Amino acid sequence: MTQSLLFNPDQYLAPPGFDLPEQVEAARKAGIDAAEEHADPEWKTAARSALLQVAAEGGPFTADHVWLVLDRQNVSMPRTPAALGPIFLGAAKGGLIRKTGRFVRTRFARRHRDLVEWEAA
């Protein structure tokens, strides 16, 4: 594959082991939809409330901050932590929060990854 093919979406062919961009987006959307669909409605209400509470504090925040609020409120974890993703995406689409453009290392044990940093819009 030549470099020109990498930057020309009309001619792009995914190398072996890689998906086409539209396949990646479809898989992402399917995962988000599944996480939203399978999360308990009461948990989603509590998570939205916790997110708005964290955003109202005025500083930058990550999903870790929302998880800590939920823990302090004795809200049980959902089947998958991915359930928090649609909550953030909904708040962002609703104009309540926005990405800062920075990433922050998670503080939770065994996750060791970077999280998107957010702020109130």
pLDDT tens digits, one per residue of 52-74:
999 999 999 999 999 999 999 99
Cβ proximity of 120 and 55 under 8 Å: yes
Assigned architecture for domain 18-120? Orthogonal Bundle (1.10)
Would the CA dihedral through 78, 95, 29, 102 be positive or negative? negative
pLDDT at 12: 63
The CB-side HSE value for 79 (13 A sphere, CA atoms) comes to: 8
Residue 66 is encoded by which pair of tokens? 């929302």
Q: Which of 48, 34, 26, 27 is nearest to 79 (CA)?
A: 34
pLDDT at 7: 59
Higher pLDDT, 34 or 42: 42
Distance CA 121, CA 119 (A): 6
pLDDT band at 37 (very low <50, low <70, confident <90, very high): confident
Predicted model pTM: 0.79
Share of the chain above pLDDT 70, in %: 87
